Structure 1
Amino acid sequence: FYIGNEEDAAEKIDPAALGLLEEEYEKFKDVDSRSLLKKYLTQEIFDSVKRRVTSKGATLHDCIKSGLANPDSHIGLYAPDAESYSMFHELFDPVIDEYHGGFGPDDSHPATDFGDPSHLGDLNELGNYVLSTRVRCARSVEGFPFNPLLTSDQYAELEQDVGYTLGTLEDDLAGNYRSLDEIGPEEQEELLQKHLLFKQGDRFLEAAGASRFWPEGRGIFLNENSTLVVWVNEEDHLRIISMQEGGNMGEVYDRFVRAVTALGEKLPFSSSGHLGFLSFCPTNLGTAIRASVHIRLPLLGSDRQKLEDTAAKYNLQVRGTSGEHSEAEDYVFDISNRRRLGISEIEALQEMYDGVMEIIRLERSLEEGGTESRKGPSQ
């Protein structure tokens, strides 16, 4: 945690930057917001951390500026570098504790345990509800700050290092890496429609400073059949994604585990014993894994509260198919695990698998109930 005194810290922060931070915080106190930033950035906490600066130059303002600009944020807080989690721990700790369902400052994240992917089966064994399945994780490379603090030269260096490492993947993982500026607009749009590519324009990331120098240092890796995708310098240094049509979670997870393991043997991923793998957003700590399905639920989708309540029992999150702030189209939902911190990789996957199976069983029961009611009373 932060070591030093206020006098030392005051010598580090630029007086003009401190003045702007204090001015913006005064305005934010009067803003109507339900974000966790608003809830936990009290005057006392603000005064205790406002002068601190990490060794890579991150200030409190760098952490909170997206939440200040977007009061409708759920979190409103990002870490511009790995050190921010300890330097500004008085603010990050309660946010992490609440989001991850009870993970205190003295807790430790368990060691990596991918388990046996074959123990996860096909989610469509009861019917073709799941349209596609993916497992992805965020990873950051040690020695580099996160996106808001990367210089143009660091973007280029990081892209080169990661691109070279991706080129060492073998067999079904092997593929090609291309920088964004090598991909034409039409192909980019095609990849976006297939959910294979990221794009600029997310206002939360823009406000956090994560889109500077676009499209420098950014690109995408695809294996031969586009079932392994790696995004470079989108929100995090790497987003490693295993995906395919249908609901075979075992196959998707097995490919994911092999890819993450192979890349981790060559790239030093940033991590800590307390928070696990470290990433830009505090929602993606610990395993940093998000396992999700696109699933069509016409009946449960008509009763969104019942769907949300069922998902909550298994710590699952329900979103639209285009991301966190999108709507569901044609009753197709994106359902994923919410818990990433304080549990192992296989535990996160099993919880998600069990929850989706329960949601499918509930959808089936509603279908059967509807069938019985259409038959009318027995003669």
Structure 2
Amino acid sequence: MSIDKFMKGSVAGWMKSSGEHADIVMSTRIRLARNLRGHLFPIASNPEDAKKVDESVTNALLNSGEKGYEYMRMSEVPLLDRQILVEKHLVSPQLTDPKRNGAVILSADETISLMINEEDHIRIQCIYPGFQLENAYEHADSVDNELEDRLPYAFDEEFGYLTSCPSNTGTGLRASVMMHLPALTITKQIDRIIPAITRLGMVVRGSYGEGSEALGNIYQISNQTTLGKAEKEILADLKNVALRLIAHERRSREVLLSKSRVALENKLFRSLGIIKYARLLPTGEAARCLSDVRLGIDLDIIKDIDMSILNELMIFMQPGYLQHYAKTDLTAEERDIFRADLFRERLRVKHVEKEDTEE
């Protein structure tokens, strides 16, 4: 097991580059749920059966000729490191429970995450930057095909892929886009848009999935059902909803610029001042300020901050990574102090580097 390299860099692979509509769509995720025939679902399984599933899946993928994968058994990963893997969106919170006998196989660039013995035997996750539904699906599908050639999937001719939760039965496909929607939130349009999206068969959650809040105006939009629709239809429906949201967000940004530019600039630069100079920075305030500064960069109002540093700080601000960086346990107040210190340090270093280059 080699987890160190996944801990060294705060920014996940998908955050290091940008894709289409990257000013609004931060990432695209595809997740495929699969189970092995002849084995109990993880919720009813026992350690022996879970171990057999783990060995079967691991051997199938690692012996497929594909290189660059790292295997980790969750029970052997320290608690803090498990939390960081969640904060980097590489594993789900459910997988970190050692009682699940779970494991994960990660690609070197962190694009592919294959979770073993989570809610289902196999969860194939593929994350791409920006708006890339088709590309992300093709990549996940290629991994799925590699496994299906070597493993006996639980499949029914009438119902499709059988899963632990009935809502995933069928294609087993959950497609989602993580979107930054500050203008719709500022203008309060998001409150009426979310119910409309739900009526279209989509689910709106926070950036960490079910049960999480939309910190920093970041929302995750995904399909709600997988039964009765083909994969292409699911992707097309989500793409249509996402494009409409992108258009609404762009119009809202234009309205804010034309009707409330001074008030908007004041809000954005105040947030920039907070993350540059604050001595105490709670998680919620840090997320809100990062959202404002991101919007300022996208609108070409704030010009002296690189977007890559904001992606980095999105991970820096999380409790697990703060404690990993501090190399000690921190109380809530200590985390707020340390978070502010990290933000000031990182922004100052970037500014100094830029000044040195100009000289």
TM-score of Structure 1 vs Structure 2, range by shorter chain: 0.5 to 0.7
Counterpart among 234, 254, 259 of residue 348 in structure 1 = 234
Residue in structure 2 matched with residue 148 of structure 1 by the alignment: 43
Rounded Cα–Cα distance in structure 2 between residues aligned with 1:196 and 1:258: 19
* Counterparts in 2 of 1:152 and 1:126: CA distance versus 1, 3 Å: closer
Give, in angstroms, the shift of residue 303 of structure 1.
3.0
Per-residue CA deviations over 1:73-96 (Å, capped at 9, x if unaligned) read: xxxxxxxxxxxxxxxxxxxxxxxx
Q: Is this contact kept in 2: 1:168–1:174, CA < 8 A?
A: no
Amino acid at match of 2:99: W
Q: Is 1:240 aligned to residue 124 of structure 2?
A: yes
Count of residue correspondences: 244
Which runs of 4 or more aligned residues in structure 1 lie more than 6 Å from their structure 2 counterparts after TM superposition?
none
Q: Is this contact kept in 2: 1:181–1:215, CA < 8 A?
A: no
- Residue aligned with 2:127, SS: strand
- Residue aligned with 2:182, SS: coil
Q: Which one has a larger percent helix, Structure 1 or Structure 2? A: 2
Give, in angstroms, the shift of residue 130 of structure 1.
1.1
Identical-residue share of aligned pairs (%): 28
Residue in structure 1 matched with residue 109 of structure 2 by the alignment: 225
Rounded Cα–Cα distance in structure 2 between residues aligned with 1:363 and 1:127: 13
Rounded Cα–Cα distance in structure 2 between residues aligned with 1:359 and 1:170: 41
**Alignment TM-score, normalising by the size of structure 2:** 0.63
Rounded Cα–Cα distance in structure 1 between residues aligned with 2:198 and 2:108: 37
Give, in angstroms, the shift of residue 291 of structure 1.
0.6
- Residue aligned with 1:214, SS: helix
* Counterparts in 2 of 1:169 and 1:229: CA distance versus 1, 3 Å: farther
Per-residue CA deviations over 1:243-302 (Å, capped at 9, x if unaligned) read: 133222232122111111111111111121222111111111111111111111013233
Residue in structure 1 matched with residue 142 of structure 2 by the alignment: 258
Q: CA RMSD in A?
A: 2.5
* Counterparts in 2 of 1:290 and 1:201: CA distance versus 1, 3 Å: closer
Amino acid at match of 1:292: S
Per-residue CA deviations over 1:42-79 (Å, capped at 9, x if unaligned) read: xxxxxxxxxxxxxxxxxxxxxxxxxxxxxxxxxxxxxx
Rounded Cα–Cα distance in structure 2 between residues aligned with 1:201 and 1:227: 18
Rounded Cα–Cα distance in structure 2 between residues aligned with 1:359 and 1:339: 20
Q: Is this contact kept in 1: 2:22–2:131, CA < 8 A?
A: no
Counterpart among 261, 282, 291 of residue 166 in structure 2 = 282
* Counterparts in 2 of 1:200 and 1:253: CA distance versus 1, 3 Å: closer
Give, in angstroms, the shift of residue 201 of structure 1.
9.2
Residue in structure 2 matched with residue 269 of structure 1 by the alignment: 153
Q: Is 1:214 aligned to residue 108 of structure 2?
A: no
Rounded Cα–Cα distance in structure 2 between residues aligned with 1:344 and 1:126: 25
Q: Is this contact kept in 2: 1:311–1:359, CA < 8 A?
A: no
Alignment of 1:67-216 (within 5 A): 125-126=20-21, 128-171=23-66, 174-200=68-94, 214-216=99-101
* Counterparts in 2 of 1:221 and 1:126: CA distance versus 1, 3 Å: closer
Q: Is this contact kept in 2: 1:137–1:290, CA < 8 A?
A: yes
